[in-house]
Amino acid sequence: MPSPAERAQKIRLVCFDVDGTLTDGRLYFDSQGGEMKCFHVHDGQGLRLLEDAGIRVALITARRSNIVQARGKDLRLRYVFDGVADKHAVLQQICASENLSLAEAAFMGDDYPDLMCLQNVGLSACPADAMAVIQRVAHWQSRLPGGLGAAREFCDFILAAQGKTPVPGNTPAVGQ
C-alpha cells in the first residue's frame, strides 16, 4: 500500500470541504439571519500555492453560501460549488473536465457528507478534529483543527511530496 507521500506525488486536483475543514465548523448568524464564516489566511495562501504550482483546487460544500463563492473568487479558484447534495458526483465532474482520474485527486473533509469522496480519491485527508469515522478512512491527518491551518498543512504536504515547496521571498502573498 502506498504511503501518503507516495500518493501525494500523483495529485493534480485537491478538493476541500468548507465547514469544519476551511472553517472551524461554527456557523455565525446575525439578528437578520445573515451568515458569517471565518477563514484563516494561511489556508488561503496554501490553496493559492497549489494553484500557482499547477495543481487545481476546488471547494465543494453542502451549504449554499454566498460567502463561499466570495472566498473562491478572492482566491481566484475556477471550481467553487456550494449547495451540493452529492459531493462525489461533483468531484467526478471536475475530474472529467480536467481529464483526471480519481487517483489523481485529493479530498480533505471532516464529516459524513465527505465520506464517499474520501474513500474514492488517491489521497484523502482530514483536520485533527474530524469525526472519528473520517479519521479512520483518511490517508493523512493534520495536526491542526479545521479552519486553523489544517488545509495549509495539507497543501504544504502535497507540495513537499512533489518537490514544489515555495522558495521564501519568491512567493507573492496574493489572494490570501
Predicted confidence (pLDDT) per residue in 5-41, tens digit: 999 999 999 999 999 999 999 888 889 888 889 999 9
- Residue 47, CB half-sphere, CA atoms under 13 Å: how many? 33
Q: Is the pLDDT of residue 175 over 90?
A: no
Q: Assess whether pLDDT exceeds 80 at residue 166.
A: no
Per DSSP, 174 falls in state -
Asked if residue 169 is part of any domain, the answer here is no
Mean pLDDT value of segment 143-158 = 97
Q: Is residue 165 part of a domain?
A: no
List the domain range (segments joined by +) for residue 19: 4-159
Collapsing DSSP states into helix, strand and coil, what is residue 106? strand
Q: Are 148 and 24 in contact (CB under 8 A)?
A: yes
Q: Which three cell numbers mark 105?
A: 485527486
Mean pLDDT across the chain: 93
Quote the cell numbers at residue 122.
488517491
Using CA of residue 43, residue 45, residue 47, residue 53, what is the dihedral sign? negative
Indicate the residue type of 72: G
| Mean local confidence (pLDDT), 163-168 | 76
β-bridge pairing 35-36 and 28-29: antiparallel
Q: Tell me if 125 is assigned to some domain.
A: yes
Domains: count for the chain: 1
Q: Does residue 175 lie in a domain region?
A: no
**Is 65 a domain residue?**
yes
Whether 164 is covered by a domain: the verdict is no
CATH code of the domain containing 155: 3.40.50.1000
Mean pLDDT of 65-70: 93
Return the pLDDT at 170: 52
First to last CA, the chain: 36
Decide if 34 is inside a domain: yes
Amino acid 95 reads C
Could you tell me if residue 110 is inside a domain? yes
Residue with cell 461554527: 26
Q: How many helices (H) and strands (E) does the chain have?
A: 7, 8
